[in-house]
């Protein structure tokens, strides 16, 4: 039987009981109505007729008295009218007999009334008007007959009143019976309804409770369950489906456990095979995985490190802050190039590691943990140091002969120019330009090596931003006019001072403006500006030239990187690298925003005086 049918049957039984109680109430109300109607329509009418006859006989008695008082005409008329009223009421009473005793009373009343009428007519038909009927004769002849008629009328009235009282008592009895029977029927119906509801609810809730307990066990990972199917309805089918589902989940779990174990072993093998240090922490920053390279770095075996807080194993607060920020944001942290390299002392040696921090997320929102990769770049650092020393040494050694060559060529051009042919002069001039280019390259290499080694002297002072812009723009204003390029300058009023090396910042601005002049066509525009953003002053050089291809934008500040264009603009590829080093020496950052074909914006930031001063 279907669950819907069971529910309808249960409600149908309750509905049937309700209809039965309502029907019983209607029957009792009809019984009460009929009883009340009988009282009003039968006995009440008889009482009215009896009262009317009592009134009529009284009027006739008054008429006789008028007659005796010599008002014969009026007395006779009143007597006849009252007689008509009495007979009419008597006739109606005969037609409304509801009690067996009424017939006998009416017969007696009729006989007595006829005797009374006969006596009264004798009095009225007296031939001698002079004959006077005394009051004593009235009381002796008429009054007894009148009394008998009144007694019969009163008897008729009283017997009907008694019948009404009996009918009223019967109505009350029926009412009490109706009340109690309705209460009994209603109570029985309510009891049966509650019984049906309890049985139906029990049949529904009992299997549902079993299924609820089963689903709770399944959610806890216990798949060894079996629900007894107590019926063939939808609940029975659902119980069977839950049992089947638990069996399938059990088989699926067994398969997944094998896969999870295999994946875990594979992940552990991958972690162990990585030559760089790798540490994985959970959302509470406890180490859940660490390979041998990282274990050697923190000087703690893998088994001991696992389960401990990151700071308990690797006491590096800055690194921990990066990991914490990654766990909170769900995104890799933005780390400056210099800060992305950490140094660790190991004995007498210093090891260098480039850090990479990546969040472990689920559905791109919930962070499960963070992966820290420590790439050993100690050898690269050593090679970079050797390269810088070699470049510095080579540049220094080349500087003297290049200076000598430049002086010699210049001397030849000044003293022997008349003896040389035009071709020889062109060759000497070309050689002079090449030597000057080499001297510029050597100077740039020396400056770069000084900056990288920290030997570049910085002369900090408090300076106005508009002074720096004005000095850089004025140095290149003539070149801009020669190329018909409009060189604009914009500095807001009340801009705070910066603490910087004026010569170095002017050199950076000059280099950026010179690059913009090289890559901007005739009639173009270059906007040089400075503005405050937070605790920084940002300088920017914006042009509407060729722009920088996308593939060069990420490495434009690297050494010896030159953007390949249709025209050769020369340069050593070291200018922007030196700009970057100089800006970083001030504690700032430099970046580029460019769209190919639309122009470029080079910008860098320098701390304002208050921020820089507080840090010092």
Cα–Cα distance, 171 to 29 (Å, whole number): 11
The class of domain 274-376 in CATH terms is: alpha beta
19 compared with 463, residue with greater pLDDT:
463
129, 133, 150 from 66: Cα distances, Å? 15, 12, 20
CB burial of residue 53 (10 Å; 0-12, 13-18, 19+): buried
Q: In what order do the strands lie in the sheet with 287-290?
A: 287-290, 277-282, 366-376, 349-362, 341-346
What DSSP character marks residue 364?
A: T
User: What would the CATH number be for the domain defined by 383-453?
Assistant: 1.10.287.130
Secondary structure percentages of the chain, helix, strand, coil, to 5: 65, 15, 20
Through-space distance between the first and last CA atoms of the chain, rounded to whole angstroms: 88
Give the tens place of pLDDT for each residue, 557-597: 887 787 776 555 556 678 898 899 889 888 899 999 999 88
Q: Which helix (H) or strand (E) holds 355?
A: strand 349-362
For 223-277, what is each residue's pLDDT tens digit? 777 777 656 677 677 777 777 887 777 777 676 666 667 666 676 677 666 778 8
Q: Do 274-376 and 383-453 have matching folds? A: no
Compute, in degrees rounded to 10, the torsion defined by CA atoms 442, 443, 447, 452. 0
CATH code for the structural domain at 3-195: 1.20.120
- Separation between Cα atoms, residue 406 and residue 420, nearest integer Å: 18
What confidence score (pLDDT) does residue 501 get? 92
> Domain residues of the chain, as ranges?
3-195, 221-273, 274-376, 383-453, 461-615
- Residues contacting residue 210 through CB under 8 Å, at least 6 positions apart: 227, 228, 239
Which residues on neighbouring strands pair with residue 327, listed in sequence order? none
- Tell me which long-range contacts 561-566 makes (C-beta under 8 A, separation of at least 24): 565/519
* Burial of 287 from C-beta contacts in 10 A (0-12 / 13-18 / 19+): buried
Tens-place pLDDT, residues 348-386: 788 888 888 888 887 666 788 889 888 888 887 777 677
- Reported pTM: 0.45
Least confident stretch, 61-75, 229-243, 306-320, 326-340: 229-243
Burial state string for 208-221 with b = 16 or more CB within 10 A and e = fewer than 16: eebbeebeeebeee
Angle between the 575-585 and 422-453 helix axes, to the nearest 10 degrees? 30
Contact between residue 333 and residue 320 where contact means Cβ atoms under 8 Å apart: no
Instruction: Write the DSSP assignment of 261-313 as a string of letters.
Output: HHHHHHHHHHHHH-SSEEEEEETT-BEEEE-HHHHHHHT--HHHHTTSBHHHH
| Matching CATH number, 461-615, of 3.30.565.10, 1.10.760.10, 3.40.109.10, 3.90.180.10 | 3.30.565.10
Q: For residue range 21-67, list pLDDT tens digits in order.
A: 777 777 766 666 665 555 556 678 888 888 888 898 888 888 888 87
What is the token pair recorded at 285?
A: 């920053």
């Amino acid at each position: 039987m279907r669950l819907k049918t069971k529910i309808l049957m249960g409600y149908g039984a309750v509905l049937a009981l309700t209809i039965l109680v309502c029907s019983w109430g209607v029957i009792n109300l009809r019984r009460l109505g009929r009883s009340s109607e009988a009282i009003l329509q039968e006995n009440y009418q008889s009482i009215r007729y009896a009262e009317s006859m009592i009134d009529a006989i009284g009027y006739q008695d008054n008429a006789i008295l008028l007659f005796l008082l010599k008002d014969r005409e009026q007395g006779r008329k009143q007597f006849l009218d009252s007689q008509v009223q009495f007979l009419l009421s008597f006739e109606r009473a005969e037609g409304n007999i509801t009690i067996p005793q009424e017939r006998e009373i009416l017969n007696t009343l009729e006989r007595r009334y006829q005797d009374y009428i006969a006596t009264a007519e004798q009095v009225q038909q007296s031939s001698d008007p002079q004959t006077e009927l005394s009051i004593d004769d009235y009381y002796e002849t008429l009054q007894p007959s009148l009394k008998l008629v009144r007694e019969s009328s009163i008897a008729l009235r009283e017997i009907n009143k008694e019948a009404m009282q009996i009918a009223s008592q019967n109505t009350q009895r029926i009412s009490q019976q109706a009340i109690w029977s309705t209460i009994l029927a209603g109570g029985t119906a309510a009891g049966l309804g509650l019984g049906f509801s309890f049985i139906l609810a029990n049949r529904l809730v009992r299997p549902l409770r079993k299924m609820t307990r089963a689903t709770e066990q399944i959610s806890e990972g216990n798949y060894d369950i079996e629900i007894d199917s107590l019926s063939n309805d939808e609940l029975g089918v659902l119980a069977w489906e839950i049992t089947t589902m638990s069996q399938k989940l059990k088989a699926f779990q067994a398969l997944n456990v094998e896969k999870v174990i295999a994946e875990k072993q594979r992940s552990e093998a991958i972690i162990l095979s990585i030559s760089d240090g790798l540490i994985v922490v959970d959302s509470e920053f406890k180490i859940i995985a660490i390979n041998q390279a990282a274990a050697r770095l923190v000087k703690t075996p893998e088994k001991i490190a696992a389960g401990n807080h990151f700071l308990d194993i690797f006491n590096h607060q800055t690194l921990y802050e990066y990991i914490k920020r990654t766990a909170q944001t769900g995104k890799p942290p933005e780390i400056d190039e210099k800060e992305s390299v950490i140094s660790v002392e190991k004995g007498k040696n210093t090891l260098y590691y480039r850090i990479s921090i990546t969040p472990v997320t689920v559905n791109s929102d919930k962070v499960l943990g963070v992966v820290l990769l420590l790439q050993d770049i100690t050898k690269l650092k050593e090679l970079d140091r050797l390269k810088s020393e070699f470049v510095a040494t080579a540049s220094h050694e080349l500087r003297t002969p290049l200076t000598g060559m430049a002086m010699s060529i210049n001397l030849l051009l000044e003293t022997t120019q008349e003896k040389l042919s035009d071709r020889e002069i062109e060759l000497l001039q070309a050689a002079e330009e090449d030597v000057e280019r080499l001297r510029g390259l050597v100077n740039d290499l020396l400056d770069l090596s000084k900056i990288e080694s920290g030997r570049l002297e910085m002369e900090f002072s408090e300076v106005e931003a508009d002074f720096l812009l004005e000095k850089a723009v004025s140095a290149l204003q003539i070149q801009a006019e020669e190329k018909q390029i409009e060189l604009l300058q914009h500095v807001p009023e009340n801009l705070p001072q910066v603490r910087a090396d004026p010569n170095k910042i002017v050199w950076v601005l000059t280099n950026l403006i010179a690059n913009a002049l090289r890559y901007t066509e005739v009639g173009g525009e270059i906007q040089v500006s400075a503005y405050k953003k937070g605790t920084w002053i940002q300088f920017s050089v914006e042009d509407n030239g060729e722009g920088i291809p996308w593939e060069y934008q990420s490495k434009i500040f690297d050494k010896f990187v030159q953007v390949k264009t249709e025209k050769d603009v020369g340069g050593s590829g070291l200018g922007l690298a030196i700009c970057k080093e100089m800006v970083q020496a001030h504690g700032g950052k430099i970046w580029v925003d460019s769209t190919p074909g639309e122009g470029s914006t080079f910008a860098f930031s320098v701390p304002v005086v208050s921020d820089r001063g507080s840090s010092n």
